[in-house]
Amino acid sequence: MQLSGPEILRRMKLNNPHNPGEYGCPDIIIKPFDERCLGSNSYDLHLSPKMRVYKNTVPYGMLPALKYDPAHKYTMEDWFGGMWRNRYDPRNDTYEKYLKGDPEYDFRNPKFLIDPTKSNETGEFTIPETGAILNPQFGYLASTVEYTETYNLFPYIDGKSSLGRNFILNHHTAGRGDDGFCGTWTLEIRVLFPTVVYPYMRIGQIYYEEFTGNRKQYNENPSSHYNGQMGPTPAAPVPVDLFIKDLVEKKR
């Protein structure tokens, strides 16, 4: 059963059982919190200024994002430095290579491979107050401004309808949380078209549902990877469970 907005607020104000009348043991913690962001059955979350990209996925000479200037008439060349690049630098011929169809700038090139079983190095940039233009060919790791803690409930995040209608995807299959999760939420952002995003824009909403059964809290599970995460957090290596292979082979 999904919690309503007023119920979310009530759960945030549960009394401390050891000291009645004092807050201290809420089921839901959201920091910072403002009731203007509380909806009918969710709470709106905001985009933190810091973003990350996997370095291996950005071709040499290309920018992962562009500073947005509404007065500037953008072209494809801007992804390669545009009017800011040094045309007298012989190393700065990446745009010309791109125009010639150099495979170094073909995103199907295996040089951009990601191995999910290993750690992948990231680079960080800050979204300026004027906004940043995201590239449809890149995946971006971002995070919510809000730090949340959830107990006795199942939290999950999703995009807002206005984001969807602008073809902004704020998570890839990873919008589900856990009872006991504490931290900011990492977002896996993709856009269908070059799209401007701004720091502190509403980037999604968090929902809460009740569940049944004995609890297995995320913050007490030794196999949990992301509890306490702050800011855009790269993926932990995905395990290859050879014990499953052994179970399969035993059944043959």
Question: Which amino acids are annotated catalytic?
Answer: 188
- Token readout for 72 is 């500037």
State the Cα–Cα distance between residues 230 and 147, nearest whole angstrom.
8
First to last CA, the chain: 42
Give 76's contacts (C-beta < 8 A, 6+ positions apart). Answer: 95, 98
The residue type found at 70 is P
| Distance of alpha carbon 50 from alpha carbon 195, whole angstroms | 17
Give the Å distances, CA to CA, from 27 to 43, 229, 236: 15, 19, 27
Cα distance between residue 132 and residue 126, in whole Å: 9
